Structure 1
């Protein structure tokens, strides 16, 4: 595991974007695993800058980690809308190469199976992850056991509270999501985990230097052969 700590947020964003840009330069038809939330926004801005300097994403395929259950794609808080706003609308990626789970599918079990079949055909070269306050990656919440493949998950109270800032109130936050499983995440060739802020310091230490346990899903990243962790000083302040 490689851990890098940055003094400046823009430096972290630029470095993360460079990892994805170099992957695409080396392999123009690369498969990118993407995340949502507040942490990736600056990273996507830097990726867009790479595109404006000439990097093409025309042959790239992307897979997002998750999507809320019940939110239509055109909802302002759907992850489809988020990705269009922050990345896809600003690069030359083909719409048919963009994949997110469909949280409004009539048969969610079939949708999960469909997504896994696509992932099997397109192994992820580099996967971006954020880190939840309770250690979740994607929407894989702490539990006695974890599901390896794409599945529907009921979101924990702390996750609902963390995401309530994006909605009018916590009552408006969807209670379920479709998420890529930890098995699919761990099959990515390279994983980039990014975290910022003092409020993430405790869970960063637990995930990276604590015991490997399903009670902290991010701790399973310790088993992966190539994880790059990008932190600001505040998020990394409790690391030994």
Structure 2
């Protein structure tokens, strides 16, 4: 079920545009798991592609994750009938800016653009998707540990459920008096349609698809790199023996 109505609650903010000191969780690497990538593609098409485009990605590249053109058309294409088209959205950028204050960002390269000294982009996305919590003080009623004061509501809340952030008072430390609020974890207040394990797996699938989408030829590049290194290794042996044969009679 598509979540267009929930996404219309966006306020002026970029979905992955900010950071925090919250420790990032390590995202499972499922980029070689075709079934996981297919599940991630389905989640992306149903929950993200309503407002966020992926203009650098063509639908027919999904053949690389084991889908046929018929499967792509029947399950993942909602704004076009041509599998050669890019993943655009029907929303006009001018209208988006008028409604939300800023057009929702394109997600083609989000997995690469979010990479930083704190960790890979996949870790940020995986953490972001799993750390939404209810916050009545915010316009959307939601906040996020990985992206404080996030402008986008939690469009996956029906899957995850609703959780609140729990804090406890601890000494301020560093010679300071008094106490400070320290985050100690989340408390699930309203279950979703998925268990926590199922939701974490789904977010791992979605994250892996975003990583794939950022560089669909990554695995081919890795394989080509190995072949090139092997070639140079073998060539070095031949060059070494040829050099020895050439100079053996020269003193």
**Normalised by the size of structure 2, how large is the TM-score?**
0.27
Q: Which has the larger radius of gyration?
A: 2
**Normalised by the size of structure 1, how large is the TM-score?**
0.28
